[in-house]
Amino acid sequence: MSSPVMSARRLAGILGNLDGTGPAYAEITDRIRVAAMDGRLADGTRLPSERELAAALGVSRTTTSRAYADLREAGLIASRRGSGSTVTVPLEASPASTLLGTHSDPDTLAFTYSAPIGPPGMARAFERAIAKLPGLLATSGYLPDGLPALRELLADYYRQRGLPTDPDQIIVTNGAMGAISLLSRTLLSPGDRVLVEGSSYPHAHDSIIAAGGRLTALPVGNGSPWDVEAMAAALKASRHTLAYLICDFHNPTAAVMTGPEREAWAGHLRRRGVTAVVDESMHEVNLDGIDLPPSLAHFDPSTVLIGSSSKPFWGGLRVGWVRAPKPLVVTLVQARMIADLGTSAFDQVVFAELLSDGGQTAAAGRAALRQGRDHLLGELAEHLPEIEAPCPAGGLSLWVTLPGHFSTRLCAAAERRKLLLTPGPRFFSLGGRAGERHLRIPYAHSSEHLSEAVQRLRLAYDDVQAGRTGTRRTDSPTIDLIA
Amino acid sequence: MSSPVMSARRLAGILGNLDGTGPAYAEITDRIRVAAMDGRLADGTRLPSERELAAALGVSRTTTSRAYADLREAGLIASRRGSGSTVTVPLEASPASTLLGTHSDPDTLAFTYSAPIGPPGMARAFERAIAKLPGLLATSGYLPDGLPALRELLADYYRQRGLPTDPDQIIVTNGAMGAISLLSRTLLSPGDRVLVEGSSYPHAHDSIIAAGGRLTALPVGNGSPWDVEAMAAALKASRHTLAYLICDFHNPTAAVMTGPEREAWAGHLRRRGVTAVVDESMHEVNLDGIDLPPSLAHFDPSTVLIGSSSKPFWGGLRVGWVRAPKPLVVTLVQARMIADLGTSAFDQVVFAELLSDGGQTAAAGRAALRQGRDHLLGELAEHLPEIEAPCPAGGLSLWVTLPGHFSTRLCAAAERRKLLLTPGPRFFSLGGRAGERHLRIPYAHSSEHLSEAVQRLRLAYDDVQAGRTGTRRTDSPTIDLIA
């Protein structure tokens, strides 16, 4: 039994007025994609004919025909003679899908990482970048320090944030993870101590450890993750080389370091000769537009900052960067020669376009994330009231509190319900019981998948309550991808 | 005084017939770019008007207008009212340009790395990839093991080479360097011994050392870099974990390991439990289409292979890969989580397009490299007959022999002539005098730059002969980028 065909007028209403900033077919393609992903066009929706949609939008038939063809090519609509075109919402492409053994389980939901799908406007940035291609292809494409135009835009970005910055202070890396890894390998010698938050982004801590660093984790309490007294005591007790911190929308707690805390931290670190590495990947994912205190670099110019295009824009853009004093940037550029030689040239052009559009795409990305956040909060409040889920002002995931210490068991039960989550303790570098009361739930997913995930989590929760926890599936290797 | 305007007919002849596989404006843009880079359109050439070119090519004025606009945007032509459009051949964008201190020296030629500019057809692959964008943007873009479609194409590629391969045996990395780095960090523990060729790609050896490996370098003689007896003796003398080899168009010598050598190496390595890591980055840069012996993996299935898109296609595509037994691929995917999380999603789509075009773009790339190689050989024969420059059947650079041990001095003199070269000893992991007789000269440059480089090298050579060597410039940090 097939659903009725959506009227062209209704679809035109969903898509909104075209803004004429690019080819009309590309805009239509992009808007249908986004509507399919955010749930406004449900899976199986039958679309009006190309002719009807063209009339409703006031564009040529060629335009809608090209848009449908591109959507077909992308696997977002299926067209069959006689029954028209039908929306097919793809399951979010599971990362490491074949390795996760999800080959035979195409409906597993991967909620271990939080990265947005490409927001509206993203496709247009790619189109604009294509226009820069001839100049780019006339070079070897090797950019070990980064695309000059992008380094300038990033320097501008910091200047606008009140941090005078020269383009030579920027090195473009393979995502923020590439930056963390490069800094760890460059700044640490085996045995060097690194001060870190008690809970944090696990791959960052793993990267520090792989480079020979020894972690000093701050205590995890109910207050701030950045206890100034504990920090001062730790620095006094032993010599530290680095501090790795996530001050803005801390991952996973979404906490924001206060201005006075920043000043105190910067002062102590500087006096002890400890380099602060501040991961600001989430800085631009300021969903509620709150006033963030100045960067730690404002209080200590030797601070090293890390940024990312994946969190505010799209995970597929593997572009991150480091802002550091110039001599360190020279060292980092040399150090990367034995790691990757450079970052994708075209991704850098696309990111430069995104930084030059007046903030339009970033705003659309935040709007989509806000919608996901609010949808997830609503679903949890309705279906899992046992869980305490505060609303974060930024970032890409909720940090919820369970009514008991069973995060690992809950995640194991969820996995059997085909929902992959990261157990709370994974975010605590010292492990222990504290993490068992927490769970990180990313909301950078379509409404449909968020609802489905909460349903599965509800079932998993009941499994745990009923003692039906069982063991984790062991029929396939599990990849620990957290983002 | 300005040059005369090139006739539309002449330009149309240079550009050739459009093949209609993409939008005509894009094809015209691409062909003018390539002709400007390979010297068929000299710097300063005045192009015919859009109208005249449209008539000569039998396309619309809109088409040539768009092509000229894109070329202008890319900085490849300059248009001025009254005097029409003029070709402006860009100096190859120097990598790490600001760090190399070439800010004030915009005409420094960087010959330390060898990567082709984008060959004809490259722009079209990007355009085709854009059509896949809607589907890609509907995902998070995180692809820690690689784009499924690309992994399948790479598995096919190996099958065509007689090596049955499952897509799960492939992990896509950030270039071949990313693969070497990932393998070193994953397979080596501090102190592990790695058997290597006496001369090789320096960043690979540096990466092995950074991961704690200890190099056993084979002797450098006049014969093969892969002396079987020396290898057997080294393996007998101490336990080795890995062997890192470049069997096809070895970097820097361009030597090819013979079939019997491969068989002997594979046998010895397997018996001693040593994992062979074979860097096949140059395999597809087979300029003369010679018959290459089967891959080492043919003789030992545990062999790990590395491949690259940068060498046969374009350095700006940061896509490499590893082919390995499945369990190792799972380990590598997990290990990369603390390095970069994945490779640019769009670059992978572009590369997949390049692998699906029937070899057309790869052939165009090889043709451009052949032209560069032959041009460089001609220039050297004419202007620097003192240098012995054998013609390599593949790869991207000449490996020349000097009539004395002065490679380092020659490179220092060349640097003062604004030509950056890598001194021969840099390619010898044990250093020593042998490298002083050699120089690697990349030919992946435009004819214009190759001629200019030989002129500067001639001057530098004379400087060395006259004892005018001086010291290296120390006014700026020098980045050691070799590729």
Residue A182: strand, helix, or coil: helix
Mutate to test the interface with B, among A32, A133, A171 (most CBs of B within 10 A): A133
pLDDT confidence of residue A442: 96
Among B281, B305, B261, B258, smallest CA distance to B162 is for B305
Report, as an integer, the average pLDDT of A34-56.
Answer: 84
Residue A472: pLDDT band by 50, 70, 90 thresholds? Answer: low
Q: Side chain identity at A444, as an amino acid letter? A: A
Residues of chain B with pLDDT > 90: what percent? Answer: 71
Mutate to test the interface with A, among B215, B338, B353, B446 (most CBs of A within 10 A): B338
* Highest mean predicted confidence (pLDDT) among A8-12, A80-84, B463-467: B463-467
**B341, A202 contact by CB (below 8 A):** no
Mean pLDDT of chain B: 90
Q: Which residues of A touch B149 (CB under 8 A)?
A: none
pLDDT confidence of residue B241: 98
- CA B402/CA A452 separation, integer angstroms: 69
pLDDT confidence of residue B89: 67
Interface list for A 325-344 with B (CB within 8 A): 329-330, 333-334, 337-344
pLDDT confidence of residue A471: 57
Report, as an integer, the average pLDDT of B392-405.
Answer: 97
pLDDT digit string (tens) for A345-358?
A: 999 999 999 999 99
* Highest mean predicted confidence (pLDDT) among B137-146, B345-354, B471-480: B345-354
pLDDT confidence of residue B482: 82
Specify the CATH class of B8-87 in words.
mainly alpha
pTM, 2 dp: 0.87
pLDDT confidence of residue B30: 83
Inspect the interface and report whether the beta carbons of A71 and B134 lie closer than 8 Å.
yes
Q: Which residues contact B111 (CB under 8 A, 6 or more apart)?
A: B419, B420, B421, B441, B442, B445, B453
Inspect the interface and report whether the beta carbons of B76 and A207 lie closer than 8 Å.
no
Of B151, B340, B343, the CB nearest to A177: B340
Residue B2: pLDDT band by 50, 70, 90 thresholds? Answer: low
Res. B138: pLDDT tops 90: no
Q: Does B8-87 match B122-356 in CATH topology?
A: no
* Highest mean predicted confidence (pLDDT) among A2-11, A141-150, A433-442, B291-300: B291-300
Inspect the interface and report whether the beta carbons of A203 and B338 lie closer than 8 Å.
yes
Report, as an integer, the average pLDDT of A126-140.
Answer: 89
**Dihedral (Cα; A249, A251, A255, A259), 10-degree rounding:** -60
**B306, B279 contact by CB (below 8 A):** yes
Q: Which residue has the higher pLDDT, B302 or B82?
A: B302
Residue B47: strand, helix, or coil: strand
pLDDT digit string (tens) for B276-289?
A: 999 999 999 999 99
Tell me which chain A residue has its CA closest to the CA of residue B137: A118
Res. A42: pLDDT tops 80: no
Is any Cβ of chain A less than 8 angstroms from the Cβ of B175? yes
**B318, A340 contact by CB (below 8 A):** yes
Inspect the interface and report whether the beta carbons of A338 and B134 lie closer than 8 Å.
no
Report, as an integer, the average pLDDT of B51-73.
Answer: 91
Among B227, B172, B167, B235, smallest CA distance to B197 is for B227
Inspect the interface and report whether the beta carbons of A148 and B97 lie closer than 8 Å.
yes
- CA A98/CA B171 separation, integer angstroms: 11
Residue A251: pLDDT band by 50, 70, 90 thresholds? Answer: very high
Q: Which residues contact B229 (CB under 8 A, 6 or more apart)?
A: none
Inspect the interface and report whether the beta carbons of B118 and A99 lie closer than 8 Å.
no
Interface list for A 427-466 with B (CB within 8 A): 444
**B455, B127 contact by CB (below 8 A):** no
Report, as an integer, the average pLDDT of A410-434.
Answer: 89
pLDDT confidence of residue A474: 46
Inspect the interface and report whether the beta carbons of B33 and A477 lie closer than 8 Å.
no
* Highest mean predicted confidence (pLDDT) among A110-119, B102-111, B369-378: B369-378
Tell me which chain B residue has its CA closest to the CA of residue A93: B139
Q: Which residues contact A65 (CB under 8 A, 6 or more apart)?
A: A50
pLDDT confidence of residue B222: 65
* Other C-beta atoms lying within 10 Å of the C-beta of residue B448: 17
Helix (H) / strand (E) element for A203: namely helix A202-210
Distant-in-sequence contacts of B207-212, Cβ < 8 A, 24+ apart: B207/A338, B207/A339, B207/B177, B207/B180, B207/B181, B208/B180, B208/B184, B208/B242, B208/B244, B210/A185, B210/A338, B210/B184, B211/B181, B211/B184, B211/B185, B212/B188
Q: Where are the domains of chain B?
A: 8-87, 91-119+361-465, 122-356
| Strand partners for B359 | none
Q: Which CATH architecture has domain A91-119+361-465?
A: Alpha-Beta Complex (3.90)
pLDDT digit string (tens) for A93-116?
A: 444 444 444 334 567 888 988 888
**B467, B420 contact by CB (below 8 A):** no
pLDDT confidence of residue B135: 86
Report, as an integer, the average pLDDT of A252-260.
Answer: 97
Among A353, A300, A389, A333, smallest CA distance to A131 is for A353
The answer, yes or no, to whether ipTM is higher than 0.90 is no
Topology (CATH) of B122-356: Aspartate Aminotransferase; domain 2 (3.40.640)
- CA A27/CA A363 separation, integer angstroms: 17
DSSP state of A118: P
Is any Cβ of chain B less than 8 angstroms from the Cβ of A136? yes
Res. A184: pLDDT tops 80: yes
**A200, A251 contact by CB (below 8 A):** yes
Q: Sort A213 into a burial class: Cβ within 10 Å, 0-12 / 13-18 / 19+.
A: buried
Q: Side chain identity at A483, as an amino acid letter? A: A
